[in-house]
Amino acid sequence: MRLGVRAHDFGKLPADELAGTIAAHGFCCVQLAPPKAIAGFDADAGRLSPGFACHVREALRRQGIQIAVLGCYINLADPDAARRAGQLARFKEYLRYARDFGCSVVGTETGSLNADFSFHPGNRSEEAFQTVLSSVCALVEEAERFGVFVGIEGVDRYVISDPPRIRRLLDSVGSNNLQIIFDPVNLLSADNHQRQDDIIRESFDLFGDRIAILHVKDFVVDAGTVRSVLSGQGRLNYGLLMEHVNARKPFIDVLMEDTHPATVDEGIRFLRSLAA
């Protein structure tokens, strides 16, 4: 298991300091969203360069850390066409510089018809699917030019919300430059969490070959709501998940979420015990 973490879970720091802090916990890879993680880099549109990418890449590499994913979270379903176009342009910039960061995957969730990313009942509609499809096709076309991947993460409350919809998106785009960032907890809700085993199995059956990155956390059900928690502190069937991961995706980058520097080592011990 190649174990990593979201870099911004350790704060917003200069690149060298951030790298040392993350390496001290034994991680070998990160998901990096520069405006969230790199001090002095507060906005990214039009600010990336090969030099900046090299600076960050080398700071992490000196500590034995690889950038597994560049996080560029945008709203692919934003109903305002002009606003959506600006977000797509920002994501395309990350695709163009991904190789300079030493990375091949730029990732995002798909978003909502609400501009603030909150749930909208229309997210389940055909119109919303077609908006996201158009956005993803534009990003994949750019990814193909630069030999990198768009990583899409399904989330229950967003437009691409369940395994069949993820499979439909893959089939509709029809390009291997579209890959999946798989987080089983993000596909769970108050309505379906009791079916988590079926959802994990269905995911690997439908798109296991296209999973490029695994996100891991855990979940509890609190007052009828699914709430995410640190790995090992909830109800996720990690045995079933890791059975499929080990069989289908050996040495995949496994990135922890919902971590904090004060508690992350507990989650690390749990995940490494599974690997052992």
Residue 89 makes CB contacts below 8 A (sequence gap 6+) with 45
Which residue type, as a one-letter code, is found at position 181? I
Distances from the Cα of 67 to the Cαs of 34, 198, 255, in angstroms? 11, 32, 11
Q: What DSSP element (H or E) covers 140? A: helix 126-146
**Which of 25-49 are b and which e, b meaning 16 or more Cβ less than 10 Å from the residue's Cβ?**
bebbbbbbbbebbbeebeebeeebe
Q: Is the pLDDT of residue 148 over 80?
A: yes
Please give the model's pTM, rounded to 2 decimal places.
0.97
Please give the Cα distance from 113 to 120 (Å, whole number): 6
Q: pLDDT at position 204, please?
A: 98
Tokens (6 digits) for 174: 């029809």
Query: For 163-214, how does the pLDDT look when each residue is reduced to its tens digit (9 = 90+)?
Result: 999 999 999 999 999 999 999 999 999 999 999 999 999 999 999 999 999 9
Between residues 258 and 266, the one the model is more confident about:
266
Query: For 210-253, how does the pLDDT look when each residue is reduced to its tens digit (9 = 90+)?
Result: 999 999 999 999 998 999 999 999 999 999 999 999 999 999 99
Radius of gyration of the chain (CA): 18
Class of domain 2-275: alpha beta
Q: What is the mean pLDDT of the chain?
A: 97
Q: Are 72 and 95 in contact (CB under 8 A)?
A: no
Domain ranges of the chain: 2-275
